[in-house]
Amino acid sequence: MLFSLIFISLLILTIMLLSFLIPYNSFFNTSFFSSFECGLENLNLKTTFSLRFFILTLIFLLFDIEMVILIPLSLMSFVSPFMALLISLPFILSLNLTLKYEKDLQNLK
């Protein structure tokens, strides 16, 4: 235990000393970290925010999170089916509501 503590401390100290001795610019070119510009000016000064794509993103996140939660609940149903049903009902209800919303927007055909 003491040997590993001393070894890790010496390793950290060695890395810190090497970081001071080796110059930063010798490995990295500073232009690598600057932003890329193609030379064209942005002529479109008005950028519009599409609420439709924002809602679609939120719905995608909702489906994604619910799938992550519902898959372990299916395994829990073998242990306690009633408890799994009580926990999964709000998620299934919200999935149905979002599907109805998508169908009303006619995004799902």
pLDDT one-digit tens code per residue, 32-73: 555 555 655 555 556 667 777 888 788 888 778 777 777 777
Same-domain status, 24 and 60: no
Cα–Cα distance measured from residue 40 to residue 52, given in angstroms and rounded to the nearest whole number? 29
Place 7 in a pLDDT band, splitting at 50, 70 and 90: confident
Structure token pair of residue 61 = 């996140």
Domain carrying residue 98: 51-104
Q: How far is CA 95 from CA 24, 40, 88, in A?
A: 52, 45, 11
Same-domain status, 69 and 27: no
Evaluate whether residue 109 is within a structural domain. no
Place 23 in a pLDDT band, splitting at 50, 70 and 90: low
Evaluate whether residue 56 is within a structural domain. yes
pTM: 0.41
Number of domains in the chain: 2
Evaluate whether residue 65 is within a structural domain. yes
Evaluate whether residue 40 is within a structural domain. no
Evaluate whether residue 46 is within a structural domain. no
Gyration radius (Cα) of the chain, Å: 27
